[in-house]
């Protein structure tokens, strides 16, 4: 299912805010994903397949 980038960003920012107090590592990963989205999808009204884009994000973190 495709979802607007803006909705994904809002969701991850909200989750990161809640997780900052009890799971800082996961919150940091969410913030890094938001940075990735903003960089790769400047048009936040664009629709993406979140699972696929998240996989690409994960691959970008792996050492080359």
Rounded CA gap, 12 and 30, in Å? 6
Structure tokens at 12: 């991850």
For the chain, the domains span: 2-61
Asked whether the beta carbons of 19 and 28 are under 8 A apart, the reply is: no
Mean residue pLDDT of the chain comes to: 96
Whole-model pTM? 0.93
Mean pLDDT, rounded, for 41-49:
98
Q: What is the pLDDT of residue 63?
A: 84
**Residue 64, pLDDT above cutoff 80:** no
Mean pLDDT, rounded, for 29-49:
98
Rounded CA gap, 43 and 22, in Å? 32
**Residue 14, pLDDT above cutoff 80:** yes
Q: Per DSSP, what are the bridge partners of residue 49? A: 2
Asked whether the beta carbons of 47 and 7 are under 8 A apart, the reply is: no
Q: What is the pLDDT of residue 1?
A: 92
């Amino acid at each position: 299912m495709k979802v607007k980038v803006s909705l994904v960003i809002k969701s991850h920012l909200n989750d990161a805010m809640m997780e900052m107090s009890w799971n800082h590592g996961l919150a940091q990963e969410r913030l890094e994903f938001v940075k990735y989205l903003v960089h790769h999808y400047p048009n936040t009204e664009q629709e993406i397949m979140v699972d696929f884009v998240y996989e690409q994000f994960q691959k970008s973190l792996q050492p080359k």
